[in-house]
Structure 1
Amino acid sequence: MWLFYLISLPLTMGMVVLTLRYFAGPHIPRYVLFAVGYTWFCSLSFIILVPADIWAAMSGQDRGGISFFWSWSYWSTFLLTWAVVPILQGFEDAGDFTVTDRLKTSLHVNLMFYVIVGSVALFGLILLILLHNNWSGGIIGFAMACSNTFGLMTGVFLLGFGLSEIPKGIWVNADYMTRQKVLSHKVARAALKLDDAHQNLSNAIVVAQATSKQMSKRDPLRPYMDIIDKMLMNMLNEDPSFKPQGGRLGENDMDYDTDVKSMATLRRQLRRAKGEYYRCKSEYMNFVMEALELEDTLKSYEHRDATGWKYISSFRPERPGKIGSYLDTVELVWRCIIRKQLKKLSAIILGCLTAAILLAEATILPSGVDFSLFSILINAVQTNGVLVQVVGFIPLMYMCVCTYYSLFKIGRLTFYSLTPSQTSSVSLLMICSQVALYAPPISYNFLNLIRLPPDATTVFERITVAVPHEKYMSLFIFFFVAKGADEIEACYVSFE
């Protein structure tokens, strides 16, 4: 068991580090990277701990290590989701000039959030007092129940959308002609967003420059304006190719020099406009590059007989020598034939996995009947620890991917952005908070798809003993999973 931890935990840490390096934008503070990385690590550890927990429960092994890791991961994600990350997010989004003022702004922004959470906690405390004789979980148990139930009831909608959208999307993208049409639409839409972002950044720069010009050197707010001027100068020096164009002043754009708070608003507006512009620019360039590569692939396949089955790229010259010619042929076969068929095969496999999950979700309630494919497989190989953990790991990973895929799709339309090398600290914190929020409910949902022997109880079920059992809400689970696919897809299409 410890060998499993020694292998899986470093791999999890490596995945977190690589993901952060891929998505994190420039100038992200180290404490934000640490908070996001730690949150992702604790959330991903659930995927590792659940299969190990199932095997330990079935084999009767010592579970001291699993219990420690469960408590550590669960309470870390709980505290990060509801306390630490919201404050950090508000702190990063604030435009104030001192740490104290930024912290005050963050607490003020999160006040409504904490008022709502506090109201729910107060209601739960009153309910707990009234029903104390029938509730053994206590206050902590009730908090866990509220958190997990919220995650279950909203997570199944996200899971339903991902279960249908991921296999369908992979199958559709395997058709290169269809993918080319989709990319043409995305490039056009990204170009419009880039124009709007360029206009907003130009306006923010013009406002900052005009405010600086009208402010005298003896103005009490001049030191704050100097900080904004320095930030603006650094921004223009970092990207000399950017030229503000069409910037114009609005009716209230010259009112930023009234007090320190208005100067903080100006700084925040300039910083957000800059982040939005470079995010849109990165998305536009990624779509354009993908569209050009796809066009090269289609042309190379169309003229394969004339070129001797070689891949011709518009981004690089033809590889020299016999080895280069061989590599060009291999690349053509991979891009035009093998990758296309692998996508279709992956879509079929994931579609079957989706059907198995839907069947398992639909038959949680009936006792004595086990239609869960994963439960049947785990019980069939219960004497082999490696197979038990592999069979448990694959569907749980797929459920997490489906849920987070839907979460990122919907969130990108409203709350945050996830762009390679251009994701802001605020977006990273928002994303890690959502990932941590849904990790325990997904794990709890999956555990209820597995029919373990009567004498086998997982550590995670003991930790969440105060949570109402899945069977009391399983009448709604399958409906939510199936209905969530239609509802969220309709919402997503309307935004598109």
Structure 2
Amino acid sequence: MSIDPPIIAMLSTSPIPVGSSIFFASALLTISVLVLLLLRRFLTLRATPAYLAIPVFLALALPASVVLLVPIDLASSSREGAGPTAIWLPDRLILVSWRIAYWLIFVLTWAILPLLGEYIDSGYRDPKGRIHYSIRSNARYQLIVLCCATVGLIYISIQNGFEFTSIKTLVMALAYVWGLVLAIYLMGHGLVSIPRTLFRNANVSGRLRRIQAHAPRLHDRLMDAINDLESLESQVTQLQRRKTGTALDFQEWIEELAETASPSPELRSGLLEQSDGPGTIPAVITERYLADLTRRLQRARHQKARFVDEWDRLVLSADDIQAIINSSASQKLEFNHSTHRSSFLSSLKLLNPYMRYHLYVHVIPNVRLGLGALFSAASVCIVWSELVKSLAPRLSVVTLSIVSYHKAPAQVEFGRQLIASAWLLYMCSAALVGVNDAKVWGNRALVRRNTYGESACWYAGLVAKLTVPIAYNFLTFLPESVRQNTTFYKFLGRFIDLTPLGKGFDYFFPVFILVPIGATLFNLYGRVQNICSWGLIEDDEDDLENNPGGYGLGGWREGRDLIERELNGLGGLGLSTRSGHRSPRPASRIDEESPAFSSSRTALLENSRAPRAPRGAAATITPMEDEDEENFFQSFAHRVKNTFETAGKPQWLQGDSFRLPRWMSNENSESNDGLARWFGGRPAPGGVRL
């Protein structure tokens, strides 16, 4: 492999720092252990094949090593004489580390993980069918990338002439540009979401209200996931019953699908009767149909597991927060005994009830407020540094915390190395938090011990794709003399600055971080979604702002009732059996084997299959009000409102309603004459013809 000329000067012999080398090796070992623990939390390592676990492990461990390598590179490039008072490594070792980390991340994000994700999600049984499906699914995406690469290659060839290094320059520059666009968008969301979440969670009662407001929507999605899975499993049952025709050719495949589907008869009886009609499964069974059915079954099972996990955590969190609120009177806090609690602190038994009360009521809220203020200041400093780095770099807060301008050349000592690591880690964390805040990634999600393989590949690829652009964007905060002296710049940065377009993009595009920040601060996405959907879909925060009383369908009062039913064993979702939860209200708890529980569970499932009204619609029946939660004026206003809404129509208005003329209605009009036939005929009753 040829070595680039600007890098040859760095390969001179230099002493090997023993202490720094030991620290670097220990840090890499620690990162590997932490990544394995993270994989163990979201994947079942024993049941995960090696072809999935190894790429996902590398896609998480290599970006973490990049966060470690940038501060070491800064200290190594600024050393004088015997070396700086910081962690530093020889130039050759840093160059080799950058090459290994960068090119492995590049291959993982642009080739291996996309193909592997589609390979897992294909639904085919044999590897050949999975590979063909994966290649076909990624062909369109790779074609778009190839077209963009062709246009970029023409631009670079015109600007600097065509050479072999032009292809390498194009590949690295395009990957950086795409990663920077995605990183700035996600980081803008995270810089607002992290401190805002801390501030909101400091208020215990407000946090409980938000959980209760989110409960109806999450419960609906859970019941929809259960119904979708039952519908697909009913198709498998029908295929298993078919003993003639083309189904015999795939009998072994169908039996495997039937073995993995084992729902209880009481859950499936309602849907099986509806699914036996014609049109549910095709007359001719093909391999493509079975692969599509297998793929939908896999997605439905993991989607159900996702919402079951979210619902469990929501119910347990609401129970813990309610226990914190109820402990204000006795100043003693006792959480319900359970094998799986909503947080790690709530499962500890080292504190007595009195100390636990002060911890959760006074210490933790104040800590959240302090961290919220600290992260708010950090977010402001990062945004300010992005805005002024090209105009007045000496005013950048991030720059002043790392580099001393009064020294020539500026050295990066151990303390400033730690500060650089903290800045870079917070920027990467903000981008990862923005992934959940943006909510534009479909049904992909991380589920404890049950994450779908395709989702694991996608999240790992996203982490790897964002880290290198964020690391180099962090390097642009520093003065030009410091930045250009690093190995990272000589390896990647000089290719980005090779053309005026690349250099200008790197300096001026991060200003657009104000767009996602403004959208998150002022809930722009929720408002646009509300306008486009005519008010039928709203965010949880809008629900609380527009309906603080919690009345109507989908309010926090409905969520509170759903959580109470689940805690009392009446919800029918089996939380008590899954998490070992025991309700603090044993008097009202109904045994799961009793007829009351069975009838309640059946009614709940029947209601979940019935079509639900939209969340924005007004409720026809007003729930009972809590007198202790309203003052006199609120109670009086509700009584006046209920009086007018429940008042009957006067007799003189109870005649026949106004009826449209015959020529404006579609009554007794069987034929499509006149102008109607030019627009596709008349609409069906209750429909609109476009």
Q: Flag the 1:386–1:225 CA change in 2: closer, same or farther, 3 A.
A: farther
Q: Which one is further off, 427-436 or 255-264?
A: 255-264
CA–CA distance in structure 2, aligned partners of residues 25 and 72 of structure 1:
28
Please tell me the residue identity of whatever aligns with 1:337. H
Q: Secondary structure at the match of 2:77?
A: helix
Per the alignment, residue 656 of structure 2 pairs with none
Cα distance, 1:133 vs. partner? 3.1
Please tell me the residue identity of whatever aligns with 1:253. T
Please tell me the residue identity of whatever aligns with 1:19. L
For residues 115-173 of structure 1, give each alpha carbon's deviation from its aligned partner in whole angstroms, at most 9, with x where no partner exists.
Answer: 11111222233333333439895111111111111222232121111111110111011
CA–CA distance in structure 1, aligned partners of residues 98 and 233 of structure 2:
49
CA–CA distance in structure 1, aligned partners of residues 138 and 338 of structure 2:
51
Cα distance, 1:227 vs. partner? 2.6
Structure number with the higher helix fraction is 1
* Aligned 8 A contact 2:189 2:438 in 1: no
* Aligned 8 A contact 2:233 2:261 in 1: no
Match of 2:107 among 67, 79, 102: 79
Cα distance, 1:366 vs. partner? 2.0
For residues 15-73 of structure 1, give each alpha carbon's deviation from its aligned partner in whole angstroms, at most 9, with x where no partner exists.
Answer: 21111111226843332121111111111111111111111111156321111111111
For residues 312-354 of structure 1, give each alpha carbon's deviation from its aligned partner in whole angstroms, at most 9, with x where no partner exists.
Answer: 223369xxxxxx8962222222111111111000000001111
The 5 Å alignment of 1:51-450 reads 51-59=71-79, 62-133=90-161, 137-216=165-244, 219=245, 221-222=247-248, 224-236=250-262, 243-244=267-268, 246-247=270-271, 248-249=274-275, 252-255=279-282, 257-300=284-327, 302-304=328-330, 309-315=331-337, 327-366=352-391, 369-380=393-404, 385-411=413-439, 414-450=442-478
Number of aligned positions between the proteins:
481
Q: Secondary structure at the match of 1:315?
A: coil
Q: Flag the 1:191–1:25 CA change in 2: closer, same or farther, 3 A.
A: farther
For residues 168-213 of structure 1, give each alpha carbon's deviation from its aligned partner in whole angstroms, at most 9, with x where no partner exists.
Answer: 1110111011100111122222111110001000100111111221
Task: State the TM-score, normalized to the length of structure 1.
Answer: 0.90
Please tell me the residue identity of whatever aligns with 1:226. E
Is it true that 1:480 corresponds to 2:503 in the alignment?
no
For residues 414-438 of structure 1, give each alpha carbon's deviation from its aligned partner in whole angstroms, at most 9, with x where no partner exists.
Answer: 2511222232101010111111111
For residues 51-97 of structure 1, give each alpha carbon's deviation from its aligned partner in whole angstroms, at most 9, with x where no partner exists.
Answer: 11111111156321111111111111111111111110110000111
Q: CA RMSD in A?
A: 2.7
Match of 2:36 among 4, 10, 17: 17
Please tell me the residue identity of whatever aligns with 2:70. V
Please tell me the residue identity of whatever aligns with 1:13. S
CA–CA distance in structure 2, aligned partners of residues 458 and 423 of structure 1:
39
* Aligned 8 A contact 2:427 2:470 in 1: yes
Please tell me the residue identity of whatever aligns with 2:396. S
* Aligned 8 A contact 2:43 2:451 in 1: yes
- Between 1 and 2, higher relative CO (CA 8 Å, sep ≥ 6) is seen in 1
CA–CA distance in structure 2, aligned partners of residues 438 and 454 of structure 1:
23
Q: Flag the 1:457–1:326 CA change in 2: closer, same or farther, 3 A.
A: closer
Per the alignment, residue 32 of structure 1 pairs with 52
Q: Which one is further off, 445-454 or 420-429?
A: 445-454
CA–CA distance in structure 2, aligned partners of residues 245 and 279 of structure 1:
24
CA–CA distance in structure 2, aligned partners of residues 347 and 173 of structure 1:
10
Please tell me the residue identity of whatever aligns with 1:3. I
For residues 349-374 of structure 1, give each alpha carbon's deviation from its aligned partner in whole angstroms, at most 9, with x where no partner exists.
Answer: 0011111111111111125x412223
Cα distance, 1:108 vs. partner? 0.7
Q: Flag the 1:326–1:128 CA change in 2: closer, same or farther, 3 A.
A: closer
Please tell me the residue identity of whatever aligns with 2:298. R
* Aligned 8 A contact 2:303 2:443 in 1: no
Q: Which has the larger radius of gyration?
A: 2
* Aligned 8 A contact 2:235 2:281 in 1: yes
Per the alignment, residue 549 of structure 2 pairs with none
Q: Which one is further off, 61-70 or 336-345?
A: 61-70
CA–CA distance in structure 2, aligned partners of residues 242 and 164 of structure 1:
46
CA–CA distance in structure 2, aligned partners of residues 138 and 39 of structure 1:
27
Q: Which one is further off, 68-77 or 326-335?
A: 326-335
CA–CA distance in structure 2, aligned partners of residues 467 and 421 of structure 1:
40
Per the alignment, residue 545 of structure 2 pairs with none
CA–CA distance in structure 1, aligned partners of residues 350 and 237 of structure 2:
56
Q: Flag the 1:423–1:289 CA change in 2: closer, same or farther, 3 A.
A: same
The 5 Å alignment of 1:464-479 reads 464=492, 465-468=494-497, 472-473=504-505, 476-479=508-511
Q: Secondary structure at the match of 1:370?
A: helix
Please tell me the residue identity of whatever aligns with 2:504. Y
CA–CA distance in structure 2, aligned partners of residues 478 and 64 of structure 1:
32
Per the alignment, residue 2 of structure 1 pairs with 21
CA–CA distance in structure 2, aligned partners of residues 177 and 134 of structure 1:
64
Per the alignment, residue 618 of structure 2 pairs with none
* Aligned 8 A contact 1:164 1:354 in 2: yes
CA–CA distance in structure 1, aligned partners of residues 324 and 108 of structure 2:
45
CA–CA distance in structure 2, aligned partners of residues 241 and 491 of structure 1:
42
Q: Secondary structure at the match of 2:188?
A: helix
Cα distance, 1:453 vs. partner? 3.9
CA–CA distance in structure 2, aligned partners of residues 455 and 104 of structure 1:
45
CA–CA distance in structure 2, aligned partners of residues 57 and 456 of structure 1:
9
Q: Secondary structure at the match of 1:422?
A: coil
CA–CA distance in structure 2, aligned partners of residues 298 and 409 of structure 1:
28
CA–CA distance in structure 2, aligned partners of residues 256 and 275 of structure 1:
29
CA–CA distance in structure 2, aligned partners of residues 191 and 342 of structure 1:
32
Q: Flag the 1:133–1:230 CA change in 2: closer, same or farther, 3 A.
A: closer
User: Which blocks of at least 5 consecutive residues in structure 2 are unaligned?
Assistant: 1-19, 84-89, 340-348, 530-537, 540-690
Cα distance, 1:471 vs. partner? 5.5
For residues 278-297 of structure 1, give each alpha carbon's deviation from its aligned partner in whole angstroms, at most 9, with x where no partner exists.
Answer: 11111111111111111111
Cα distance, 1:478 vs. partner? 4.9
* Aligned 8 A contact 1:211 1:257 in 2: no
Match of 1:491 among 507, 521, 525: 525
CA–CA distance in structure 2, aligned partners of residues 251 and 175 of structure 1:
55
Is it true that 1:43 corresponds to 2:66 in the alignment?
no
CA–CA distance in structure 1, aligned partners of residues 279 and 467 of structure 2:
45
Please tell me the residue identity of whatever aligns with 2:104. S
Per the alignment, residue 321 of structure 1 pairs with none
CA–CA distance in structure 2, aligned partners of residues 256 and 95 of structure 1:
20
Please tell me the residue identity of whatever aligns with 2:476. N
Q: Secondary structure at the match of 2:161?
A: helix
